A and B are shown apart, each in its own frame.
Chain A
Amino acid sequence: DVKVTQSSRYLVKRTGEKVFLECVQDMDHENMFWYRQDPGLGLRLIYFSYDVKMKEKGDIPEGYSVSREKKERFSLILESASTNQTSMYLCASTRPGQNYEQYFGPGTRLTVT
């Protein structure tokens, strides 16, 4: 059974802290994605990666960075957390050429106070 795991289900951080969200997939997928999910806005793409050490900006990359040192792991970094980054963060992975079928992790609900 395919699996995408995220390091935390719930996280509370203070404004200005550096935050790391980790995602690991065990399907040997090349492509990995980070989204944020907010009520009424659906899922919005932050960053994605199609290979180790490769990254591409999504629709809302401001305030975020990513790291992909290994194929199975994709990290989202909030350099200096702000209250408007309070959200649900979802990681996904997929095979090349099959971006329509993405496998999602359970999400991390981040609260920045």
Chain B
Amino acid sequence: GESVGLHLPTLSVQEGDNSIINCAYSNSASDYFIWYKQESGKGPQFIIDIRSNMDKRQGQRVTVLLNKTVKHLSLQIAATQPGDSAVYFCALTNDYKLSFGAGTTVTVRA
């Protein structure tokens, strides 16, 4: 099956700083690469996606970078806020399915 790995299981960041969450993958044939956010007690929520023919995409306070050469995906969160505390999952399309990484728990320090 598809392998999706995260570099760090936890990340602690000071409020107001930028956060960077990383993810590595093994399947070069994926069309989409996606980030989900899961807050405590809730299901994962779609944040942003990037197509395989792009290397950068920006949303509201978030930027996703895709480096297909080294098979690396990252999510950058600008000016991290307490509401950004959550588990973040990277995922990629695998035919009609999604393959998820194990998740990085982000904790924002006041």
Interface residues of A, Cβ cutoff 8 Å to B: 4, 31, 35, 40-45, 48, 50, 56, 58-59, 90, 92, 99-107
Contact = CB atoms under 8 A, between A and B. Distances in A.
A41 to B, nearest CB: 6
Q: Which 3 A-B pairs have the closest CB atoms?
A: A104-B43, A100-B32, A42-B100
29 contacts: A35-B100, A40-B9, A42-B4, A42-B102, A42-B103, A43-B44, A43-B91, A44-B100, A48-B96, A48-B97, A50-B96, A58-B97, A59-B97, A90-B44, A92-B43, A99-B97, A99-B98, A100-B31, A100-B32, A100-B91, A100-B98, A101-B34, A102-B46, A102-B98, A103-B46, A104-B43, A104-B44, A104-B45, A107-B43
B97 A45 contact: yes
B89 A42 contact: yes
A4 B46 CA distance: 14
Given A45-B97, A99-B97, A100-B34, A106 B43 contact: yes
B83 interface: no
Contacts of A102: 44, 46, 98
Contacts of A106: 41-43
B54 to A, nearest CB: 13
Interface string B89-110: 1010100111011110000000
Given A42-B102, A104-B44, 17 more contacts: A4-B43, A31-B96, A41-B102, A43-B89, A43-B91, A43-B98, A43-B100, A48-B96, A50-B96, A56-B96, A59-B97, A99-B98, A100-B49, A100-B91, A100-B93, A102-B46, A104-B43
Interface in B60-110: 89, 91, 93, 96-98, 100-103
